[in-house]
Structure 1
Amino acid sequence: MSMPVVEIFTKLGEFMKDIIIRSIEETEDLFLPYDKYIELALYHPEYGYYQRRKDKIGSSGDFYTSVSMSPVFGEFIGKWAGRKLIESDLPPAICELGGGTGKMACDFLRGLELYNPELASNAIYYIVESSAYHRELILDTAAKDHRIRLLDSIKDMPLIEGFIFSNEFFDAFPVRVLIKDKNQWKEAGVTVKNGELFETARNLNNQRILSVIEKLGIPEFINRIEVPCPMMLAYEQIVDKIKSGYLMTIDYGMDMEDFYIPARKNGTLRGFKDHQLIGSILENPGETDITSTVNFSLLKCEGKRRGLDLEYWGGQQSFLLEEGILDELVPHADADPFSPVARRNRQIKQLVLGDWISDSFSVLVQSKNIKKP
């Protein structure tokens, strides 16, 4: 008799917990920094959350994205990118960071086709996706599309003249965690007691982290912060892959002045399971999505330092409205609310009106070696 799906994933979660405990026990001080814990919990090749053969996005998963809610979002980004490529006389080389299920690629390419069929037919669409399971999903979704090239990592990216973009990519990177103890910053991490995972802290001696803290200008009332060293390393590698073109980053985050407020005095690191915020990311490792809010000021400052120009910065809702998504609405006299036209119009309105997903996301567009008119 086959084992129920819930029981299977419970067993896999126990395997992941055992792997983490062994990793802690192999250290000299029984201390695993949070970035190492998150890396194991999310990206372990067998039992990590993103490697599991399980839906993560949508009603049957743990969270929603703009892409999962509507094809309109990806189509609109595809049209917008097509316009920027033509305006800047760039070749249609496109790279998506974190391909997920492949749905964004399909929606984007459909939008590019609607905007300019010739440009779309000549496009090369790279997808960087580290999860073997998600690469399988992408191949199933777009197996017949000769334009798609799958890459395992950022290091595999060619030098790009064109358009690089991501949607909810940077918020899944591991982070180091610092906590304040008697006005001194210490590093928080994970230890094990009686077979269970607990948070602990140690003195902070990492000079790179200390230098980042000095740059952040953290207010006195902040007790806990995340330091996104792996995210910044990945961002630097991505920028180095741009010969000329645009870099679009869409993610849950904000500028530094909005980041450090009393409501976030205990940090932003959190976990989601079945669309619910969980009490601790140490619960059910490998079964839970772990994320943190992106500090876009770091990306803007590092981008400027590396020669990128700022093209756009603002909320996703504002970006969509300013770039004309309401022009996509189609007048119709069909009384059927479930007709294709009515459904599409409703999806467009949901993207930009009311309390919806666009309220929480920001858009950063940077460029490199683009001739200005």
Structure 2
Amino acid sequence: MRFTDTLPTPSAEALAHSAQLAERIRIAIIANGGSIPFREFMRMALYEPGLGYYVAGSRKIGKDGDFITAPEISPLFSQCLANQCAQVLTELGGGDVLELGAGSGIMAADMLARLEALHCLPERYLILDLSPELRDRQRQTLQRHVPHLLARVEWLERLPETPLRGVIVGNEVLDAMPVELFTLVDGDRVIRQVEIQGDGFDLVPVEGHYTSEFNPNLPGWMRSMADSLAAGVLLLIDYGYEQADYYRPDRTQGTLICHYQHRVHDNPLIYPGLQDITASVDFTAVAHAGLDVGFTLGGYTTQAAFLASNALETLFIDALQTNPADQYKLAQQIRTLSLPSEMGERFKVIGLNKGVAFTWQGFALASQQHRL
């Protein structure tokens, strides 16, 4: 993945798709008096029914998409998560796993295989995903990798009405939530608006030199997570910072970035519906939102420390014994997942408990909750 100002030109079909969404955004702007908050633009660009980036039919994840997530990099990532889930399910005496936004389905497949090896399969493996294309892809992945476990998998279009006991897990879910963009003007937050500019869009200008973002949907989202969990844990993995680092004085342009065909750039207003738009996660805000709705903080640390605490080294050695020829490939995977210059420290892990008290094995080596 590289940061660039030069992007590949979309196909004619993709441009036509984007034009449809752009027209719908223009209609919304006109109806709202000439501008809409950036948060609404981001919501439409990502989730507008039938047209938004995450709900339309294009392939987003993997070498043929726009970005690659940790489960796509290595099965060792998902196996470590499964080790943590096994501890929770054992503490509860059984239960379910609910994965939020399951991508290609490879994390579900690898977690189920590992949980089976640990004799700790969940009663149900639930997948909540809004994309029909991704649900089909997930089913195909599971059929290919763990066909004998497919009967345990259920797909949901909304959170379960009956609260579950078990684990709710979200890998790179929070970064895809629409954020409010603001600029400080004389010490006050001015919420940024998007307006029509020629054939495209632009931000309404304001006088200020510090721009960042916050997630206004986080408290409500966290409430929905608490309401969906009778007893168990919420496990979230994403890239982000503690609040003091997130709003550092020298971070004057915030954290908003876009992914398009494995290029990273900073213009969210182009190619609506064709590119991913994300913002780093404020993990202090996540922790506070969780505590406000009745969760307790189970732990917080870097991805590298969490994976190490969940037997990454042992899993690596086991994989080597099975496939000695894969030594270089497996070592590269671990470097990507663990090195500070890669995903190891940029990605964080937070665990929140509800109705169950235990010491998480994933935070044993290096708990950093004091930084929140």
**Which whole-Å CA distance do the structure 2 matches of 1:312 and 1:229 have between them?**
23
5+ residue gaps, structure 2, are 1-8, 360-372
Structure 2 residue corresponding to 1:184, chosen from 182, 188, 213: 188
TM-score computed with the length of structure 1 as normaliser: 0.85
**Which whole-Å CA distance do the structure 1 matches of 2:182 and 2:336 have between them?**
38
- Residue-by-residue CA offset, 1:41-75 (whole Å, 9 max, x unaligned): 11122221112322211222111211111111112
Q: Which residue of 2 aligns with 1:205?
A: none
Pairing of 1:136-175 with structure 2 (within 5 A): 136-143=136-143, 144=147, 145-154=150-159, 156=160, 158-175=162-179
Consecutive aligned runs of 4 or more in structure 1 exceeding 6 Å deviation: 331-334
CA displacement at 1:237 relative to structure 2: 0.6
**Which whole-Å CA distance do the structure 2 matches of 1:333 and 1:314 have between them?**
27
Is 1:228 paired with 2:232?
no
Structure 1 residue corresponding to 2:26, chosen from 21, 42, 45: 21
Q: What is the alpha-carbon root mean square deviation over aligned residues?
A: 2.6
Q: Which residue of 2 aligns with 1:114?
A: 117
CA displacement at 1:180 relative to structure 2: 1.9
CA displacement at 1:97 relative to structure 2: 0.9
Is 1:77 paired with 2:71?
no
**Which whole-Å CA distance do the structure 2 matches of 1:26 and 1:80 have between them?**
48
**Which whole-Å CA distance do the structure 2 matches of 1:190 and 1:353 have between them?**
38
**Which whole-Å CA distance do the structure 2 matches of 1:305 and 1:26 have between them?**
36
Q: Which residue of 1 aligns with 2:14?
A: 9
Structure 2 residue corresponding to 1:40, chosen from 44, 55, 60: 44
Checking the alignment, whether the CA contact within 8 Å between 1:187 and 1:201 is kept in structure 2 is: no
Is 1:367 paired with 2:353?
yes
**Which whole-Å CA distance do the structure 1 matches of 2:153 and 2:130 have between them?**
15
Moved more, 68-77 or 162-171: 68-77
- Residue-by-residue CA offset, 1:208-252 (whole Å, 9 max, x unaligned): xxxxxxxxxxxxx97222121123321221112111111101011
**Change beyond 3 A, Cα 1:341–1:232:** same
Q: Which residue of 1 aligns with 2:92?
A: 89
Pairing of 1:272-291 with structure 2 (within 5 A): 272-291=259-278
**Which whole-Å CA distance do the structure 2 matches of 1:322 and 1:21 have between them?**
49
**Change beyond 3 A, Cα 1:333–1:173:** closer
TM-score computed with the length of structure 2 as normaliser: 0.85
**Change beyond 3 A, Cα 1:344–1:333:** closer
Checking the alignment, whether the CA contact within 8 Å between 1:326 and 1:348 is kept in structure 2 is: no
Equivalent pairs counted in the alignment come to 345
Q: Which residue of 2 aligns with 1:246?
A: 233
| Residue identity in the other structure for 2:217 | P
**Change beyond 3 A, Cα 1:194–1:346:** closer
Q: Secondary structure at the match of 2:348?
A: strand
Q: Which residue of 2 aligns with 1:217?
A: none
Is 1:321 paired with 2:305?
no
Counting aligned pairs with the same residue, the percent is: 25
**Which whole-Å CA distance do the structure 1 matches of 2:292 and 2:264 have between them?**
36
Q: Which residue of 2 aligns with 1:212?
A: none
| Residue identity in the other structure for 1:137 | R
5+ residue gaps, structure 1, are 203-220
Q: Which residue of 2 aligns with 1:215?
A: none
